[in-house]
Amino acid sequence: MTTHAATAQPSYLVDTGKRKGLLAWLTTTDHKRIGVLYLYSMISFFLIAMGVGFVMRLVQLTTFQKLITAQTYNALFTLHGVIMIFLFVIPGLPAVFGNFFLPILIGAKDVAFPRLNLTSWYFFMAGAILAVLSLFTGGGAPDTGWSFYAPFSLKTGTNVSLAVFAAFVLGFSSMLTGINFITTIHRLRAPGMKWFRMPLMCWALYSTSWIQLLATPIVAITLVLVILERFFGIGIFDPAKGGDPLLYQHLFWIYSHPAVYIMILPAMGAITEIIPTFAKRTIFGYKAIAFSSMAIAGVGSLVWAHHMFTSGMSNLATILFSLLTMIVAVPSAIKVFNWVSTLYKGSIDFQPPLLFALTFIFLFAIGGLTGVMQGALAINVHIHDTYFIVGHFHYVMFGGTGMGFFAALLYWFPKMFGKMYSKTAIYVSWFPIFIGFNMLYFGMLILGMMGMPRRYYVHLPQFHTMHVVATVGSWFLVLGLLTYFGTLLYALFKGPKAEDNPWGGVTLEWTLPSPPIQENFETIPTITHGPYHFEQESK
């Protein structure tokens, strides 16, 4: 653990090249710096979208609205969805922690294509700027929801074309990152780093990268077709011209359902790193977890049409996709059982990253089980387009990916910045996050079962009580999140210096100084055993 004792290289945070300060960061090809650039960008976007969601909940405090107009409400839920999906959860963990830690975890000095990596960040930022521009140009903020369903997206006077183009540009960022990670894992593993010696985060990133590479071009082409249809009326999706709106839904979900696994798989990978470290024992079922990541990526790409059970598909397709949806629950459950089995009889060291990892498991399990419910055709018809879907989605994406992101940030923050945060403040932030989260989103599940449709500006009196509960929950949640980010921000500037290995981790990043040196390793390590080799366990 002290291989870095005589490091000659400075930390990656120190400017040593010709350029200094902001310019050095904006032209960097260091994977760690690029990961940090993504981190700052994404947290900014997350806070903006959180604010939008907060206003949306305030709107539902009364049965008859006065706060904003219905059109503005439509724009807000579109904005909330587009920012959260395309600018936070899809790129979230791969772009931040994948970029920062993938090369380190496999014993490499950088990703395979460092310049392409920086280009990906610029594509990401260009897409984000275009998305923001779409709010204030053309016909104003899009009002379609993040799914841009045809034929409404073809007819609405709002600025759908630019928003869709922004998503197209963001897709390029995603594809290029996918190519980079796949190549890095294939070509740059350290000597002795065999496939089954890689930390499981790498397997999760590898699976994710394949989905990014294979599914993103489909939505990219589909979005271009929407633009062409809006400008030239080519009639691919418009039924008035002989087009098929169901085809749009198919093409959109062929990407956008696997995108859910782009979002969740890296979070699962991070959780798989955290649990052995704090249980002080090797992961239970290494190969089962590795293969389940690939299985989720594979089967998860074949379930897209469960979003369309009420859209008028053929009976054969609905039955087939219902079956496939049930199957994808199996590899997800394998992971959950393996995490719990790893904790069983472990020497548990209860620290903030583990708290958030356990929160992930709890909330993701609720999200997953409500997902299986929706996979059943009869239930799906009842709850389609209700708040149940919104609640389920947030349990998976926020309770899953979001909590996974927060857990990963707590786990790797000391390594990334060389600073330690106040654990007490993080524990304090957890309570309002957990309570508020469940008030808000379990409230939505109940509202959905009661029949409250999603995306409605007003609601009937019988839904009012649960709407109030959910809105109050959102206040707790926002309070907790601000405390969480405030704690980390404070630690960044005023926090005490972190130890090189504050958690007693055994994967390669914990052999490096905090923060890591510029080329990661003074000497490329030779790997002789699996990733979770705890000495106390092997005695």
Binding site for another protein (CB under 8 A): 8, 109, 186-188, 190-191, 214, 218, 246-247, 250, 254, 301-302, 305, 313-317, 320-321, 519, 521-524
Q: Minimum CB separation from another protein for residue 206, in Å? A: 12
- Comparing CB distances to another protein, the nearer of 109 and 464 is 109
Smallest CA-to-CA distance from 173 within 260, 80, 86, 84 is with: 86
User: Helix, strand, or coil here: 386?
Assistant: strand
Q: Minimum CB separation from another protein for residue 524, in Å? A: 4
DSSP 306: G
- Comparing CB distances to another protein, the nearer of 179 and 446 is 179
Q: Which token pair is 380?
A: 């799906």
CB 143 within 8 A of CB 75: yes
Q: Which token pair is 80?
A: 């909330």
Q: How many CB atoms within 10 Å of residue 217? A: 14
- Comparing CB distances to another protein, the nearer of 499 and 519 is 519
Place of tokens 């929160």: 359
- Comparing CB distances to another protein, the nearer of 247 and 479 is 247
- Comparing CB distances to another protein, the nearer of 374 and 518 is 518
User: Helix, strand, or coil here: 111?
Assistant: coil
Q: Minimum CB separation from another protein for residue 377, in Å? A: 14
Smallest CA-to-CA distance from 51 within 25, 18, 23, 84 is with: 84
- Comparing CB distances to another protein, the nearer of 499 and 522 is 522
Q: Which token pair is 132?
A: 């923001």
- Comparing CB distances to another protein, the nearer of 522 and 537 is 522
What is d(CA 117, CA 267) in angstroms, rounded to the nearest whole number?
21
Q: Minimum CB separation from another protein for residue 248, in Å? A: 12
Q: Minimum CB separation from another protein for residue 358, in Å? A: 35
- Comparing CB distances to another protein, the nearer of 8 and 22 is 8
CB 516 within 8 A of CB 3: no
Angle at 251 (CA atoms; ends 246, 257), nearest 5 degrees: 110
Q: Minimum CB separation from another protein for residue 108, in Å? A: 8
- Dihedrals φ, ψ of 11, to 5°? -65, 155
Smallest CA-to-CA distance from 81 within 56, 64, 59, 62 is with: 56
Helix (H) or strand (E) holding 528: none
Q: Which token pair is 512?
A: 């490096």
CA–centroid distance for 306 within its chain: 21
Q: What DSSP string runs through 127-165?
A: HHHHHHHHHHSTTSS--STTTT-TTHHHH-SSSHHHHHH
- Comparing CB distances to another protein, the nearer of 320 and 425 is 320
- Comparing CB distances to another protein, the nearer of 193 and 357 is 193
Q: Minimum CB separation from another protein for residue 159, in Å? A: 30
Helical H segments across 233-351, by residue range = 245-279, 286-300, 315-343
CB 102 within 8 A of CB 509: no
339 residue type, one letter: W
- Comparing CB distances to another protein, the nearer of 58 and 247 is 247
Q: Minimum CB separation from another protein for residue 314, in Å? A: 4
What is d(CA 245, CA 222) in angstroms, rounded to the nearest whole number?
12
Smallest CA-to-CA distance from 252 within 328, 300, 305 is with: 305
- Dihedrals φ, ψ of 523, to 5°? -130, 130
- Comparing CB distances to another protein, the nearer of 315 and 538 is 315
Q: Minimum CB separation from another protein for residue 196, in Å? A: 17
Helix (H) or strand (E) holding 314: none
